Amino acid sequence: QKRAGIVGAGIGGLATAIRLAVKGYSVDVYEGNPYPGGKLSEIKHNGYRFDAGPSLFTLPALVDELFEVAGKNPADYFTYQKLPETCRYFYEDGTRFTADSTPERLAKTIEKHLGEPAAHVLAHLQDSAKKYDVTEKLFLHRSLHRLATYFNKDALKGYLNLHKLDAFQTMNRANATRFQDPRVVQLFNRYATYNGSDPYQTPATMNIIPHLEYNIGAFFPKGGMVSITNSLVTLAEELGVRIHLNSPVEKILTQAGQISGIQVAGNSIPFDVVVSNMDVVNTFRKLLPEAKQPERILRQPKSSSALIFYWGIKKEFPELGLHNIFFSQDYAAEFATLFKQKTIHDDPTVYINITSKYEKADAPDGGENWFVMVNAPANDGQNWEELIATTRKNILEKLSRHLGENIEALLETEDLLDPRLIESRTSSSQGALYGNSSNNRFAAFLRHANFSSQFPNLFFVGGSVHPGGGVPLCLLSAKIATDMIPA
Ligand code: FAD
């Protein structure tokens, strides 16, 4: 039986472990932390439970598929429900409304609250679906870096429709042309942040993202996002995968142009195939410092990071839902601050995720678990202590003003995640949430491939490599990489 060693038990590493076990490999996963899941883990504090990282769940079929390839019934391990609403929006001019989850209802709601003709929203979502169709065939299920990707029926169809991707103007320009109300432009520009990009720089291709939320749907997993990790761990272990926690990999070992194994706690462990779920920058810099470094790819600008406060709140807010956005007054200024000045804006857009709306047990009776996040620049050695203190004050003021309540007085517990911690806990280069930024139209081609051109038995998965960051794309990276690994 061939042996595979996987570096990291993030969502990409776990999905790869499952797929390789199904392929007949004997699989060992080495995870540096005392817990699996990487960014997709949880925090518990004083009766409150928080999902630590991802909060929006799209394309659940990609999780189901892992159980199906293993011959299991997904529902025996993992269940989820489709959300009836996607997000509650709060604007600085006092406008607030709940975005419905179907295109028709969303279009009507936006027309009612913001005066934008429903037809504009419907056209936008249809366009988003077309973009998804082209991209999915061309990019999402295949390696961009293998010739076979470019010579097949689907790819050909993709080329004929490439113009639909709208890669030659920015997302903001496309949206400002389509919509008359600046608040609608702001709403749809926000989707750039789903992969840590800047709507004023990223190509309009990224208008693909609303398709996931409105045409396919947003979902909530029973037990919170962490149950994605937990159910994959259960499945992997049932398939015989050994997950070694507290086991940071120190080196990827090479011999005569091949990978021979990995080094953990000073011991060399031989493997036929090694898959790295560690950020590709740190895989090369730390585990393979003597190999040729693919500098151009490793030096690409990073996506944004985030500052998150996990607040246990001793009150319930019926006006809030599972996902809530409190927009900044000046979105262009906010993104210029993030990506040009590389700091946090004084009036940041604030996102609150409250899983206790669906899982009562996530907060004590009469309370709510608030995951409060603002976009932050990737870590460049900013003065984080000062930035965190100022931002905390700005967020509390903004939320207190909108909700008519002194929020600070309601805090029962508080935890924090910042770009430095994201970097140290998951080895993400500069604490970026989604690997490289997608702020230019070549970004897709400047992510590292899922295989190595130097070592035939080394592969890469996770948010820092093709096809990109976010839970669904990490799951797809595992599929693409495993398809290339010989049985
Ligand atoms: P990671 O989660 O990056 O984990 C890598 C693992 O490898 C870690 O466990 C790390 O400890 C381990 N590791 C690294 N180096 C070594 C080593 N040398 N030895 C052993 N182990 C090692 N995505 C969404 O889809 N929806 C969202 O709403 C969303 N929101 C987010 C919010 C936040 C705050 C964050 C942080 C991320 C968010 N994301 C979201 C992105 C999503 O979480 C990531 O894209 C995805 O979880 C990354 O998975 P990964 O496979 O790349 O592994």
The residue written with tokens 């930035």 in the block is 387
Q: Please tell me if the CB atom of residue 418 comes closer than 6 angstroms to any atom of ligand 1.
A: no
Under 8 Å between Cβ of 370 and 313: yes
Q: Please tell me if the CB atom of residue 277 comes closer than 6 angstroms to any atom of ligand 1.
A: yes
Q: Please tell me if the CB atom of residue 248 comes closer than 6 angstroms to any atom of ligand 1.
A: yes
| CA R_g for the chain | 22
Residues of the chain with pLDDT under 50: none
The residue written with tokens 């702020």 in the block is 439
- Distance (Å) of CA 471 to CA 63, 242, 322, 461, 462: 9, 22, 18, 12, 9
Ligand 1 center–CA 187 separation, angstroms: 26
- Is residue 237 included in any domain, yes or no? no
Instruction: Give the residue ranges of DSSP H helices in 101-162.
Output: 103-114, 118-135, 153-160
Which of these, 70, 124, 14, 162, lies nearest to 477 by C-alpha position? 14
Q: Are residues 327 and 395 in the same domain?
A: yes
CA 306 from centre of chain: 12
- The CATH number given to whatever domain includes residue 23 is 3.50.50.60
- Is residue 231 included in any domain, yes or no? no
> Of 394, 411, 433, which one is at a domain's C-terminal end?
433
Which of these, 269, 243, 128, lies nearest to 194 by C-alpha position? 128
**Cross-strand bridge partners of residue 274:** 5, 458
- Is residue 236 included in any domain, yes or no? no
Q: Are residues 475 and 388 in the same domain?
A: no
Q: Are residues 270 and 356 in the same domain?
A: no
Q: Please tell me if the CB atom of residue 38 comes closer than 6 angstroms to any atom of ligand 1.
A: yes
Q: Identify how many contiguous H helices and E strands the chain contains and give both numbers.
A: 15, 19
What span, in angstroms and rounded, lies between the C-alpha atoms of 287 and 206?
Answer: 33
> Of 433, 455, 474, which one is at a domain's C-terminal end?
433
Q: Are residues 265 and 313 in the same domain?
A: no
String of DSSP letters for 53-95: S---B--THHHHHHHHHTT--GGGT--EEE-SEEEEEE-TTS-
Ligand 1 center–CA 10 separation, angstroms: 5
Ligand 1 center–CA 315 separation, angstroms: 31
Q: Please tell me if the CB atom of residue 210 comes closer than 6 angstroms to any atom of ligand 1.
A: no
Across the beta sheet with 323-326, the strand order is: 96-100, 85-90, 323-326, 350-353, 368-376, 305-313, 411-417
Under 8 Å between Cβ of 23 and 484: no
- Distance (Å) of CA 483 to CA 8, 216, 406, 476: 19, 26, 54, 11
- Is residue 233 included in any domain, yes or no? no
Burial of 23 (0-12, 13-18, 19+ CB in 10 A): middle
Q: Are residues 182 and 259 in the same domain?
A: no
User: Measured between alpha carbons, how far apart are the two ends of the chain, in Å?
Assistant: 10
Catalogue the E-assigned strands of 245-303: 249-255, 258-264, 267-270, 273-276
CA 367 from centre of chain: 28
- Is residue 264 included in any domain, yes or no? yes
Q: Are residues 265 and 148 in the same domain?
A: no
Three-state DSSP at 6 gives strand
Q: Please tell me if the CB atom of residue 109 comes closer than 6 angstroms to any atom of ligand 1.
A: no
Q: Please tell me if the CB atom of residue 54 comes closer than 6 angstroms to any atom of ligand 1.
A: yes
Q: Are residues 125 and 19 in the same domain?
A: no
- Distance (Å) of CA 270 to CA 17, 54, 96, 206, 394: 17, 34, 58, 42, 52
What span, in angstroms and rounded, lies between the C-alpha atoms of 35 and 54?
Answer: 16
Under 8 Å between Cβ of 231 and 12: no
Q: Please tell me if the CB atom of residue 196 comes closer than 6 angstroms to any atom of ligand 1.
A: no
Which of these, 460, 466, 462, 376, lies nearest to 421 by C-alpha position? 376
Three-state DSSP at 185 gives helix
Three-state DSSP at 414 gives strand
For helices 103-114 and 182-189, what crossing angle results, to 10°?
A: 140
Q: What's residue 440's pLDDT?
A: 82
Three-state DSSP at 221 gives strand
Which of these, 195, 221, 227, 225, lies nearest to 52 by C-alpha position? 225
Q: Are residues 375 and 256 in the same domain?
A: no
Q: Are residues 439 and 294 in the same domain?
A: yes
- Is residue 79 included in any domain, yes or no? yes
**Cross-strand bridge partners of residue 385:** none
> Residue 332: enclosing H or E segment and its boundaries?
helix 331-339
Ligand 1 center–CA 212 separation, angstroms: 20
Three-state DSSP at 262 gives strand
Q: Are residues 316 and 424 in the same domain?
A: yes
Total tally of structural domains belonging to the chain: 3
Q: What's residue 147's pLDDT?
A: 64
- Tell me the two tokens of residue 224: 């919170």
Q: What's residue 444's pLDDT?
A: 77
- Is residue 11 included in any domain, yes or no? yes
Amino acid type, 157: K
Best residue among 246, 426, 436 to mutate for probing ligand 1, ranked by most atoms within 8 Å of CB: 426
Under 8 Å between Cβ of 432 and 303: yes
Q: Are residues 410 and 441 in the same domain?
A: no
- Max Cα–Cα distance, the chain, nearest Å: 67
What span, in angstroms and rounded, lies between the C-alpha atoms of 229 and 56?
Answer: 14
* Structural domain span for residue 93: 41-101+217-224+304-433
Ligand 1 center–CA 242 separation, angstroms: 20
Q: Are residues 287 and 260 in the same domain?
A: yes
- Is residue 173 included in any domain, yes or no? yes
* Interface pTM, i.e. ipTM: 0.99
What span, in angstroms and rounded, lies between the C-alpha atoms of 198 and 191?
Answer: 9
- The CATH number given to whatever domain includes residue 320 is 3.90.660.20
Q: Please tell me if the CB atom of residue 5 comes closer than 6 angstroms to any atom of ligand 1.
A: no
Q: Return the residue whose CA atom lies nearest to atom 27 of ligand 1.
A: 54
CA 429 from centre of chain: 15
For helices 11-22 and 226-238, what crossing angle results, to 10°?
A: 30
> Of 216, 234, 253, which one is at a domain's C-terminal end?
216
